Chains A and B, each alone.
Chain A
Amino acid sequence: MSLLGEDIVTGKGEFVINIGPQHPSTHGVLHLKVWLDGETINKIQPHLGYIHRSIEKMSECLSYRNFIYVTSRMDYLSAHINNQACALAVEKGLQIEATPRGRVIRLLMAELTRLQSHLLWWGCTGLDLGAVTPFFYAFREREAIMDIMDETCGARLTMNYCVPGGVMYDVHPNFQKRVKDIIVQLRSRFDEYDQLLTGNVIFEQRTKGVGYLSPEDAVSYGCTGATARGSGVSCDIRKWFPYDGYENVQFNEILGKTGDCYDRYMVRMAEMKESVNIIEQLINNIPEGDFQAKTKMVLKLAKGEYYQRVETARGELGVYIVSDGAASPYRIKYRSPNFSNLSALEVMAKGAKIGDLVAIMSTIDLVIPDVDR
């Protein structure tokens, strides 16, 4: 038998199937080619590029003010943190720093972004593994966070709030009160989340001991974020190379032990609590003053190279700008966390059952536009 000129049963008796590009558990247009021996995965090969928009090429045609907005469309769940990375890279080139007020607002928004991203992930993980209820609970809190973002900058998802030198507008007068409300609400809900999913017997059996990733492989494959931290690899950029004042706030880097799906899950759950801690420390201490530093109309970076890495909700995002002194970048590279995390799928899924593939993919927390860019 053959399909599009390729054998669907190999000489070794393996059955080759395609999962995606239109499949609910791939969280976007990801195409996986899987070689199966019965139910066991022998080999897996991701096929990418279904929504490749060449964001790097687009950025090279835009000015240093405008290219920031394109990056919201990469990892749309961490849009603000992507913008922050670009703004920081441009600030490095201009040798300016954001104003103290701008920096704190950025951090607050970044942690709110991380919270809403993890909440969405938590709901979807439940959904992937057959628990529909968590999704509605997650969206209850997530909507409240989205409303804060809407009120602050007019957009719920692609925020475009960061500009070189600070943030675009000042926060809404209601901002502090609403953020404090959501913190109180979240604190009381974390136990509820654990009761719903974490301690569930079916959930534990489907995630414990599944999708093992060794610490050596995690580093070698360039995994970052909770995917690597679940294996016990320290890689939190907020701790390693602090930016925008992360050095002044108290929080812990959460590390897992076993490197299976359950640990990656637990790392993210604990990270949410840490994000709430960070917000709590900052929300009453927003400095007075300008929210944006004064910059020239047309930004031109000195000839040279600038690299900025930040911790998005999924891991390390690197923005590498090569400038030749013109008003738009000569070369931009986005080192996206998901691209590297996805490459480790072949070791995580090898030997697993086809049903476990869904659990593995959902705990890597894939966002496909970030993979394809």
Chain B
Amino acid sequence: MTSEEIKQSVTALFSDVIYDETGEFLNILINASELRPLMELLYSKTEFKFDYLFCLTCIDWKTHLTMVYHLLSKKHRHNIVVKAKIADTNKPEIETVCDIWKTADFHEREVYDLFGVKFLNHPDMRRILLDEDWVGYPLRKNYADENMIKL
């Protein structure tokens, strides 16, 4: 499927989406509350069949957080990037996608560990890299550590 066809199919079902085609991939910007239905559609619909989640991460924009999901279809060989905006930086929450793509399990735990985004309905929401009693989320831009030196 080309980007235009993907856009048409998504727009038919979701009205409140913004597209961004400036980069390498087609980006779909969506609100965090609508992430789950969109992801289920992208995975299950045979024309899309995005079966491989190759990168899952988060960006801290200071005013809000953005979850970034890079998807690839092994069958159709098309890529897409889904971005979900989380407005609340103090208590960020979003639905998990780890029951759709199992790789999201570890990656979401990593995001929880380093950004503090809580994934709802995740079966095992613990820190993955840092200690359980670590204070703060290191990859957040407001993270402060007295031992940190800016180069």
B54-A335 in contact (CB<8A): yes
Contacts A57-B138, A305-B23, A307-B24 hold; do A222 and B52 have CB atoms under 8 A apart? yes
Complex contacts, B93 vs chain A, CB 8 Å = none
Q: Is the CB of B102 within 8 A of A217?
A: yes
Residue of A nearest to B110 (CB): A339
Which of under 10, 10 to 19, 20 to 34, or 35 or more describes the interface residues of A?
35 or more
Which residues on A sit within 8 Å (CB–CB) of B23? 304-306
Find chain A residues with CB under 8 A from B22 CB: 304
Q: How far is the CA of A322 from the CA of B52 in the complex (A)?
A: 22
Contact A222 B103 (CB under 8 A): yes
Inter-chain contact B55/A343, CB cutoff 8 Å: no
Inter-chain contacts of B150 with A (CB < 8 A): 61
Which applies to chain B's interface (DSSP): helix, strand, loop or mixed?
A: loop
Q: How large is the interface on B (under 10, 10 to 19, 20 to 34, 35 or more residues)?
A: 20 to 34
Determine if B135 is an interface residue (Cβ-Cβ < 8 Å).
no
Q: Mark B34-68, 1 if CB is under 8 A from A, else 0.
A: 00000000000000000111110101100000001
B139 on the interface (CB 8 Å rule)? Answer: yes
- In the complex, A309 Cα to B131 Cα: how many Å? 30
Instruction: Name which of A9-17, A33-41, A46-54, A150-158 contacts chain B.
Output: A46-54
Residue A285 lies at the interface, judged by CB distance under 8 Å to chain B? no
Please name all residues of chain A whose beta carbon is closer than 8 Å to the beta carbon of B131 when the two chains form the complex.
Answer: 49
Q: Which partner residue on chain B sits nearest A304 by CB separation?
A: B23
Inter-chain CA distance A240–B131, complex, in Å, is: 38
A222 touches B128 (CB 8 A): no
Q: Establish whether residues B128 and A49, one from each chain, have CB atoms under 8 Å apart when the complex forms.
A: yes
Closest residue of chain A to B77 (Cβ to Cβ) is A240
Chain B residues in 8 Å Cβ range of A48? 128-129
Instruction: Bits for A271-294, please: 1 = Cβ < 8 Å to B, else 0.
Output: 000000000000000000000000
Q: Does A96 contact B (CB under 8 A)?
A: no
CA distance A340 to B55 in the complex (A): 10
Known A305-B23, A320-B55; contact A62-B151, beta-carbon cutoff 8 A: yes
B110: chain A residues within 8 A (beta carbon): 339
Inter-subunit contact B52/A219 (CB<8 Å): yes
> In the bound complex, do residue A222 and residue B139 qualify as a contact, i.e. CB atoms below 8 Å apart?
no
Q: Closest B residue to A307 by CB, please name it.
A: B24
Residue of B nearest to A341 (CB): B103
In the bound complex, what is the Cα–Cα distance between A343 and B52 (angstroms)? 14
Which residues does chain B contribute within 8 Å of A309, judged by CB atoms? 54
Encoded as 1 (CB less than 8 Å from any A CB) or 0, chain B from 140 to 151 comes to 000000000011
Chain B residues whose C-beta falls within 8 Å of the C-beta of A344 in the assembled complex: 102
> Which chain B residue lies CB-closest to A324?
B61
- Contact sample, A vs B, 20 pairs, CB 8 Å cutoff: A49-B128, A49-B129, A56-B139, A61-B150, A61-B151, A219-B51, A219-B52, A220-B51, A220-B103, A221-B102, A222-B52, A222-B103, A305-B24, A306-B23, A306-B24, A307-B25, A318-B54, A320-B57, A333-B55, A343-B102
Residues of A within 8 A of B (CB): 48-49, 52, 54, 56-57, 61-62, 92, 217, 219-222, 233-235, 240, 304-307, 309, 316, 318, 320, 322, 330-331, 333, 335, 339-340, 342-344, 372-373
Chain B residues near A (Cβ < 8 Å): 22-25, 51-55, 57, 59-60, 68, 70, 74, 77, 101-103, 105-107, 110, 114, 127-131, 138-139, 150-151
With A222-B54, A339-B106, A339-B110 given, name 11 new contacts (CB 8 A).
Answer: A49-B129, A49-B130, A52-B129, A220-B101, A221-B103, A240-B77, A316-B54, A318-B70, A331-B59, A335-B57, A343-B105
